[in-house]
Structure formats: structure tokens, C-alpha cells
Amino acid sequence: MFEITDDLIGKYSIIGPRYTSYPTAPMWHEIEPATQQEWLAVNTNSQKAVSLYIHIPFCRDRCLYCGCNVIITRQQEASAEYVSYILNEIDTLADSRRGNRIVKQLHFGGGTPNFLLNEEFVQIMEKLRDRFDFNEETEIGIEIDPCTTRPGQLEFLAEIGINRLSLGVQDLDETVQKAVQRVQGKEITLEHLSHAKSLGMKGINFDLIYGLPFQTVDSFRKTVEQIVEMRPDRLAVYNFGYLPNRMIHQRKIKSETLPDTKTKMRILLGSINQFCEAGYEYIGMDHFALPEDELAVAQKNRTLYRNFMGYTPKSNIDLLGIGVTAISEFDRYFVQNEKKLKLYKQHISEAGISGIRGIELSPDDLKRKWTILKLICHFYLDFKEFQDEFSVDFTSYFEEELSQLKDLEEDGLLELREDCIRVVNHGQILVRNICMIFDAYLKRSDVPEVKYSKTI
Ligand SMILES: C[S@@+](CC[C@H](N)C(=O)[O-])C[C@H]1O[C@@H](n2cnc3c(N)ncnc32)[C@H](O)[C@@H]1O
Ligand code: SF4
């Protein structure tokens, strides 16, 4: 059972990064696609396997809560044109790589990837199989909006090799669904889950959001009760990112309809406890998985990793992002592709790639990234492993940070031992606060001020 007192909520409910990367994306700087090309060249002989992420930005309708980078259109031809640029980008990335081309993981994210027509998926898969190496073990996943899948689409996706599925659910309460303009009956969700299971898909995930309009502790408890009965393999329970100043469509959600901070916290804690009581493992920030799911297994084996898609069982891998806004992570580099479709197409036509922001990690960044990843993925950090990795003594290098952690230890978030740090009890829910101690950029005055979301 996770419990946090109101005092601790007050103390630790501060704004902070979600650490899907370190340094966090706002700390990256502008680059030219030519710089991305140079960085890819540095990594050309990499012996690491590959993880590919393909971003499909299109959605037929806009859900009012949505904070993702999407293009709302009913014009089906938009995707055919887009796919031609994706194919071009795949070629450039494949050309830049002479080392290991084995794809351990491929993920279609969005937007709504099921917007693509079958023949467009075929084009992409043929190109990928031609330019990279796939095998039986390659994990191929897709994010699906169950309201817009076409008849026969799941069977088709299974036929072309898709074996992982993530479904947007958000909340099962009708009042909440209407308020966010995403009305999705429980039946359609259940139908997709059973169908995907019967097709042999694994790691089936549901996305939920807490903090949505008209949600109450009781209404979300009922949603969670129904969800655990359905028993998806994985769950992501996101904190509603409400930024009406930046996202005009979110202004249709009135702030007075949102649960207040304490209610939100009770909703979150209630759902965490419900999932754990129902046999799910708490993986870390926002994520749960059944004990036999590979995410839970990877956490136990300490091979879990976290990147901009969230937690992943695949570590020690080069992530190559394809499509508008996609992010790549390889060697000591992060790169983000152009966000605007028109400019993305222009870059791809000219250079075959479209990286416009990125960063080369310094030796200090690499040490802090390693540290944050250990804490956020495994709730455990072994000082000797750090010594083995960097030939530097952890306790001397992070002397100041370790003394700052003492306060968090007194509040019961962690245990500081002679040879390791263990994140315990409610510290696992507040792990962002612990990671923030190791974030050098938060202490610097020469970096942009960022409006992160609240840690809880
Ligand atoms: C990019 S969407 C893809 C899923 C698919 N388009 C759908 O809606 O079913 C991935 C997930 O992001 C989450 N999401 C979107 N906007 C959010 C927001 N403002 N705050 C928190 N989570 C959000 C939702 O849970 C959504 O299912
Ligand atoms: S939640 Fe999914 S379907 Fe809705 S607008 Fe966002 S990406 Fe599109």
C-alpha cells in the first residue's frame, strides 16, 4: 500500500521534468540536419541493435484533452504523401548505418497510426524489412484509437507482423468522456483487447488519464475496477497535462470542472493501490504491468530503460526516430525532428533527414543520465556499478547531491546505504523529486525557464 500524508504532498508537489531524457528536451539547442548527419556518421559502426520509432501525426477528430503533436484531418490522401517522406527518411537513416542493423523494436506512435491505409503500412514495412534486419523476436508495436480502427484492421496489422498494441482509453465514465469529446464505450475497448489477444498480440497496454474534468475519487475507482477486470498486460496512467494558454482546444475544458490537487492525488494513490491489489506491478512513473509481462520482468532483471516513449524493456539500443517530431537517441546524442509538417517535408526533400534540435551529452551529462535512469527504472543505484562504468567514485562525485538526499531520506522516500541508494515506499511515486536532485540544469541560471508539469 502506498500512502503519502497531505504534508508530504504539499512539500513534494512541485513542478519538474518527467525524465524521458536527460538532459530534458527544453535544454537541447537548435541544430541543422547536417549536424544530425555528422552525429549519425560518428555512430555509423555501432554494434548496438536498433529501435525504430515512426510518428504518424494524423487524427480524424481532436479529443479536447489531447496534448500531443497532431494534425486533425479527414483527408485520407494526407497520409499517402506523408508516407513517401517516411520512406525517404528510412533510406537516409539506413544509408548512414554500417554496423548492426538488427531491429529489436519498432513502434508506430501518434497521433493515430491506424489512420494509415493498409497499403501504406505495407509500403513502410517492405522498406524497413529491405533496409534493416528483422527477426522472430522483433517487437512491433502500434498505438491505436479503438474508435477509428477499420473492420479487419487488427487482423491486417497482425498479418504484417505487429505483435504489441497500445489502446487509448483515458476514462470509462460517460460524463468524463463527453466532457473531453472522446466517447468510447467500454465494449469497444474490451472487444479490441480480446481481439488483439486472440491474434497473439502481447504487452497490450491501456492509456488512462487522471485529472480530467468531472473525475472524482469514486468515478475513477469505478473505472479502475472495470479496467482490472479486463486485465490488459500493461497500464499507463498519465497526469492530465492542462495547458490552455498553449493549446487553444483545451480552453473548452473549464478549469472549475477539474478535480483539485488533493482530489487528484487521492485519485492517483487510490488507482495505484487498486492496481497493485489486483496483481499489477508498479513499474514506476505512471506505469503498471502484470508480473509476467516483459516490462515487469525487465524491471526485476534491471534491464528496464526509459526513453521518450516511456518505459521500455529494451536497453542498450540505438533509437532512430522517423517522421515529424520524432526523437532519436544514440551514442551520446539526442536529436528531435522538425515539428511542422511543411518544414519536415522540406528538410526531407533536401537532406533526407530533418533533425532541428538536439544535444551532444558532456561527460557530466552522461554520468547524471546514468544516475537518473537507474533511479527511475530500478529504484536502485549501486555505487560500484557507477565506478565500473565511469572510473569515478560516486560518493565523491555526487557529494553535494548525497547530502541533499538526506532530507528526502528523513521523509521516508529512500534509503542511503554505504554502497547504494534504494528508493522505497512513497519515494517510488515521488521518484521525479529524487531525480531532480541530480539534474544539473535545474540549478543553472543560463538555461531556458521551462513550464514542467507537477511531480504529483
Ligand atoms: C498520442 S496518444 C495515441 C493514442 C491514440 N491516438 C488514442 O487517442 O487512442 C497517446 C496517449 O497520450 C495521452 N495523452 C494525450 N494528451 C494528454 C494530456 N494532455 N495529458 C496526459 N496524457 C495525454 C493519452 O492517454 C493518449 O492515449
Ligand atoms: S488523444 Fe489520440 S485520437 Fe485524440 S487527438 Fe490525441 S492523438 Fe488524436
Structure confidence at residue 74 as a pLDDT band (50, 70, 90): very high
Pocket of ligand 1 (CB under 6 A): 65-68, 110, 112, 143, 145, 168, 170, 207, 209, 238, 240-241
Q: What is the pLDDT of residues 219-236, one digit of tens each?
A: 999 999 999 999 999 999
Residue-averaged pLDDT of the chain: 95
User: What pLDDT score does 16 carry?
Assistant: 86
Domain ranges of the chain: 6-10+23-343+347-359, 362-439
Largest CA distance in the chain: 61
pTM score: 0.96
- Mutating to test ligand 2, I would choose from 68, 209, 242, 309 the residue with most ligand atoms within 8 A of its C-beta, which is 68
Q: What is the arithmetic mean of pLDDT over 349-368?
A: 98
The CA 68 to ligand 1 mean position distance, Å, reads 7
Q: What is the arithmetic mean of pLDDT over 375-383?
A: 97
Q: What is the 3-state secondary structure (H, E, C) of the chain?
A: CCCCCHHHHHHHCCECCCCCCCCCHHHCEECCHHHHHHHHHHCCCCCCEEEEEEEECEECCCCCCCCCCCEECCCCHHHHHHHHHHHHHHHHHHHCCCCCCEEEEEEEEECCHHHCCHHHHHHHHHHHHHHCECCCCCEEEEEECHHHCCCCHHHHHHHCCCCEEEEEEECCCHHHHHHCCCCCCHHHHHHHHHHHHHCCCEEEEEEEEECCCCCCHHHHHHHHHHHHHHCCCEEEEEECCCCCCCCHHHHHCCHHHCCCHHHHHHHHHHHHHHHHHCCCEEEECCEEECCCCHHHHHHHCCCCEEECCEEECCCCEEEEEECCCCEEEECCEEEEECCCHHHHHHHHHHHCCCEEEEEECCHHHHHHHHHHHHHHHHCEEEHHHHHHHHCCCHHHHCHHHHHHHHHHHHCCCEEECCCEEEECHHHHCCHHHHHHHCCHHHHCCCCCCCCCCECC
What is the distance, to the nearest Å, from the Cα of residue 97 to the centroid of all Cα atoms in its chain? 25
- Cis peptide, bond prior to residue 23, ω within 30 of zero: yes
Q: What is the arithmetic mean of pLDDT over 30-52?
A: 97
Q: What is the pLDDT of residues 298-347, one digit of tens each?
A: 999 999 999 988 899 988 999 999 999 999 999 999 999 999 999 999 99
427 pLDDT higher than 90: yes
Phi, psi dihedral angles at 384 (to 5 degrees): -70, -35
**Cell numbers that stand for 278 in this block:** 489486483
Structure confidence at residue 53 as a pLDDT band (50, 70, 90): very high
Q: What is the pLDDT of residues 201-215, one digit of tens each?
A: 999 999 999 999 999
Q: Is the CB of 59 under 6 A from ligand 2?
A: yes
The CATH number of the structural domain formed by 6-10+23-343+347-359 is: 3.80.30.20
User: What pLDDT score does 400 carry?
Assistant: 97
Q: What is the pLDDT of residues 107-128, one digit of tens each?
A: 999 999 999 999 999 999 999 9
54, 167, 285, 359, 455 from 335: Cα distances, Å: 14, 27, 24, 7, 25
Q: Is the CB of 111 under 6 A from ligand 2?
A: yes
Q: Give the percent of the chain with pLDDT over 70.
A: 99
User: What pLDDT score does 108 carry?
Assistant: 98
Structure confidence at residue 98 as a pLDDT band (50, 70, 90): very high
CB 14 within 8 A of CB 432: no
The CA 65 to ligand 2 mean position distance, Å, reads 8
Phi, psi dihedral angles at 328 (to 5 degrees): -115, 150
Rounded CA separation 232/180 (Å): 23
Q: What is the pLDDT of residues 126-170, one digit of tens each?
A: 999 999 999 999 999 999 999 999 999 999 999 999 999 999 999
43 pLDDT higher than 80: yes
**Cell numbers that stand for 189 in this block:** 475497448
User: What pLDDT score does 2 carry?
Assistant: 80
Q: Is the CB of 196 under 6 A from ligand 2?
A: no
User: What pLDDT score does 452 carry?
Assistant: 72
Q: What is the pLDDT of residues 381-422, one digit of tens each?
A: 999 999 999 999 999 999 999 999 999 999 999 999 999 999
Q: Which CATH number fits domain 362-439: 1.10.150.50, 1.20.1740.10, 1.10.10.920, 3.20.20.140?
A: 1.10.10.920
User: What pLDDT score does 371 carry?
Assistant: 98
Q: Is the CB of 416 under 6 A from ligand 2?
A: no
The CA 64 to ligand 2 mean position distance, Å, reads 9
- Mutating to test ligand 1, I would choose from 63, 68, 325 the residue with most ligand atoms within 8 A of its C-beta, which is 68
User: What pLDDT score does 262 carry?
Assistant: 85
453 pLDDT higher than 80: no
451 pLDDT higher than 80: no
Q: List Cβ neighbours of 125 (8 Å cut-off, separation of 6 or more).
A: 160, 161
Tell me how crowded residue 260 is: count the other CB atoms within 10 A of its CB: 10
Q: What is the arithmetic mean of pLDDT over 32-42?
A: 96
User: What pLDDT score does 25 carry?
Assistant: 95
User: What pLDDT score does 450 carry?
Assistant: 74
Q: List Cβ neighbours of 12 (8 Å cut-off, separation of 6 or more).
A: 4, 411, 430, 433, 455, 456
